[in-house]
Amino acid sequence: MTARTVKTNALGLEKTAYKGSESTLCNGCGHDSISAKIIDACWELGLDQRYIFKLSGIGCSSKTPAYFLGLSHSFNTVHGRMPSVATGATLANHSLICVGVSGDGDTGSIGFGQFKHMLRRNVPAVYIVENNGVYGLTKGQFSATADENQRQKYYGVNYFPPLDLCLEAIIADCTFVARSFSGDPQQCRELLKAALSHKGMALVDIISPCVTFNDTPESTKSYAYGKANNIELQQIEHIPPGLVIQRQEITIPDYAEGETIAVTMHDGSQILLKKTDNTHDPRDKQAAIRLLEQSKAEQKFITGLIYIAEPRPTLGELERIADTPLAELPDERLRPSREALAKVMADLG
């Protein structure tokens, strides 16, 4: 998207209103770029921070919710267990937007089970993995997404193939799966906006270089590698509801017939996917799986919207929970009447 001249969003707020506290991560950390893009995305969508909440696990990535959306509630939980907290929190209040931030250690190792079950249950949340292939806070151990045969000075060689979190999400029936690179701010922002517009769980796996422990030339999660090898599946543009007609007038003529896929999101927004050299159709599940398998075999760094499908019912919908958020129910809808207790007692007598 081209730079906009307007300085305030739909809520009349400047972007600075979406900032958090100052980052304490290393200078140049990819995670800080992601925080900036979350701010951009929420600001551009005109989201009210009071109705967003942020969750995270433990690790460098999980510190970042302090650095964006300072007016949103946040809960920095325990290592790898953010998904279960998200599950309970979204059940308790389904009217809010849940942004979960996690790392590859959180998601790929200690919390892998919870991650898979969150996907399986379709907990409504944007799940962002800030994926750097390494444990930063404990100084450079391999994570489960580290490259096979990668070498580290102290820990030697990683002999194990990496887990592909996008692939895991697709086979767990997630209906929005994207990969991005923190060095590609525009793609990052647009994918985040699209994810925020998705109903149900959306996974955005963002390769985010660790400048201290995993930014070596041989690492596939380094800035240099990402910049040189990033193959974008599409140029993606997210068009919020209400802007569709106006934007169509501007953008549609630029897209040749058959090269653009327009996907209407649950909230009425659209994402326009302009094909690059790739012919990948993200609505094709088998194609998405093949694409990921292939790019792994050929060591290709593919980014973009990998898979999108008609949203499945969310956990709360399947549970048939009341329309009023459970956390906001008045006492009289929570505690049955005196007569109801008397009837239960009579039945037991």
Partner 1 sequence: MCAVELTTDKRTEAGVLVNDFVIIAATVNGSGSQTANNTLVRALFKMGIPVNGKNLFPSNIYGLPTWYTIRLSKDGYVARRPDYHVLAAMNAKTQAEDIEKLASGGVCIYPEEWKLKQTRTDITYISVPVRDMVKESGASPALKDYVANMVYVGAMAELLGIDLAEIKNALTYFLKGKAKAVDLNYFLVEKAAAHVREHFADAPRNFRAERMTATQGKVMIEGNAAAALGAIFGGVSVAAWYPITPSTSMIDALMDYAKELRVEPDGKTTLAIVQAEDELAAAGMIIGAGWMGARSLTATAGPGISLMSEFSGLAYFAEVPCVIWDIQRMGPSTGLPTRTSQGDVLKTYYLSHGDTRHVVLLPADMRECFEFGWRAHDLADHLQTPIFVLSDLDLGMNLWMTDPFEYPDQPLDRGKVVSFEDLEKFGTWGRYKDVDGDGITYRSLPGQGPAYFARGTGHTEYATYSERPDDWTKNLDRLARKHDTARHLVPQPISQIADEATCAIIAYGSSDAAIIEARDMLKAAGITTSYHRLRALPLGEATHEFMGLYERIYVVENNYLGQMAQLLKMEYPAFADRIISVSHCDGLPLTARWITDSILEKEQK
By CB under 8 A, name the binding residues for partner 1. 21, 49-51, 53, 55, 65-66, 70-78, 81, 83-93, 95-96, 113-114, 117, 121, 315-316, 319-323, 325-329, 331, 333-336, 338, 340-341, 344-345, 348-349
Please state the φ and ψ torsions of residue 152, each to the nearest 5 degrees: -120, 150
Of 56 and 187, the one with the shorter C-beta distance to partner 1 is 56
Q: How far is the CB of 198 from partner 1 (least distance, A)?
A: 20
Residues 6 or more apart whose CB falls under 8 angstroms from that of 14 comprise 7, 8
Between 62 and 230, name the residue whose CB sits nearer to partner 1: 62
DSSP state of 340: H
Across 40-199, the runs of DSSP E, i.e. the strands, are 52-56, 73-76, 97-103, 125-131, 134-135, 141-142, 151-152, 156-157, 176-181
Q: Which is nearer to partner 1, 26 or 92 (CB)?
A: 92
Quick one: tokens of 217?
A: 């030339």
Q: Cβ closer to partner 1: 258 or 349?
A: 349
Q: How far is the CB of 37 from partner 1 (least distance, A)?
A: 20
Q: CA-CA distance, 307 to 177, in Å (whole number)?
A: 5
Q: In the β-sheet with 234-239, what is the strand arrangement from edge to edge? A: 234-239, 270-275, 260-264
CB 148 within 8 A of CB 162: yes
Residue 22 CB, shortest distance to partner 1, in Å, is 11
Nearer to partner 1, 84 or 186 (CB): 84
Closest alpha carbon to 86 in 140, 138, 47, 123? 123
Choose between 73 and 247: whose C-beta lies nearer to partner 1: 73
Q: How far is the CB of 209 from partner 1 (least distance, A)?
A: 24
Q: State the Cα–Cα distance between residues 146 and 166, nearest whole angstrom.
A: 14
Alpha-carbon span 198 to 185, nearest angstrom: 20
Closest approach of Cβ 17 to partner 1, in Å? 13
| 123 SS3 class | coil
Query: Least CB distance from residue 85 to partner 1, whole Å?
Result: 4
